Amino acid sequence: MMNCEQAREIIELHFGGDQIPGDLQAHLTECESCRAYYDEMTALARGLGSDIDSPFSAEDFDRATAGAVDRIDRQPVIELRPAGWLRPMLRVAAVLLVVGMSYSSYRMGVESNLGAALDTLQTADADIDRLTVLLEYDTDDELDEDMISILIDDYCTDASYEATTSLLDDISEEELEYLTENFEVGELL
């Protein structure tokens, strides 16, 4: 038997929806207070406006559409490969990245957190959608642009956005400044 607390929880979860569960219906027929709450929330949802109730005109949409289509048309034609290639490619790229990072770090004398990178790759091997790499470097040394580019390209080809979000969480202010000055970060994100 549903109580009022449970009823209100369901009402809130169904806010804006059309149908409510049968057991809630039964409770509402018996409880005036919850019925009043339900009616109030239904009226509120109705008053919020439609999905496309916005300040844009048809011309705004036409221009934005033309802009998107133009950007798509300017892209090179790429054959759509079967989905099966992505994960093996990412694993190869991840291994090359670690090898490349360690070699570059040795050559450049830049400290890199190789241990953390390897730990993360072991996790990534089990769940490649959650691949994150902690990139630490000495800001007085010149950044390796190729490594940064590979890192960004790897994560931006992944359908999961947590990788890019985690990248934002983990990079320093200097790294963020470098990225925004040298890459079109908005597009990459």
Q: Which residues bind another protein (CB under 8 A)?
A: 9, 12-13, 15-17, 40-41, 43-45, 47-49, 51-56, 60-61, 63-65, 67-69, 71-73, 75, 77, 79-83, 86, 159-162, 164-165, 168, 176, 180, 185-187, 189
68-to-25, 55, 71, 76, 78 alpha-carbon distances in Å: 46, 20, 5, 15, 17
Residue 67 or 106 with smaller CB distance to another protein: 67
Torsion of Cα atoms, 50 then 54 then 58 then 62, to 10°: -110
Q: If you count them, how many residues does the chain have?
A: 189
CA 138 vs CA 44, 116, 158: distances in Å? 55, 16, 28
Shortest Cβ distance from residue 91 to another protein (Å)? 16
**CB nearer another protein, residue 84 or residue 115:** 84
Q: Compute the least distance from the CB of residue 1 to another protein, in Å.
A: 22
Question: Shortest gap between Cβ of 23 and another protein (angstroms)?
Answer: 18
Which is closer to another protein, CB of 52 or CB of 109? 52
State the nearest-atom distance from the C-beta of 186 to another protein, in Å. 7
How far apart CA 93 and CA 158 sit, in angstroms, is: 12
Min separation Cβ 63 and another protein, Å: 8
Given the complex with another protein, which of 26 and 44 has the nearer CB atom? Answer: 44
The answer to whether the beta carbons of residues 117 and 101 sit under 8 Å apart is yes
Nearest CB to another protein, comparing residues 38 and 105: 38
Round to whole Å and give the CA distance between 149 and 132.
Answer: 15
Separation between Cα atoms, residue 139 and residue 34, nearest integer Å: 61
Chain centroid to Cα 148, Å, comes to 19
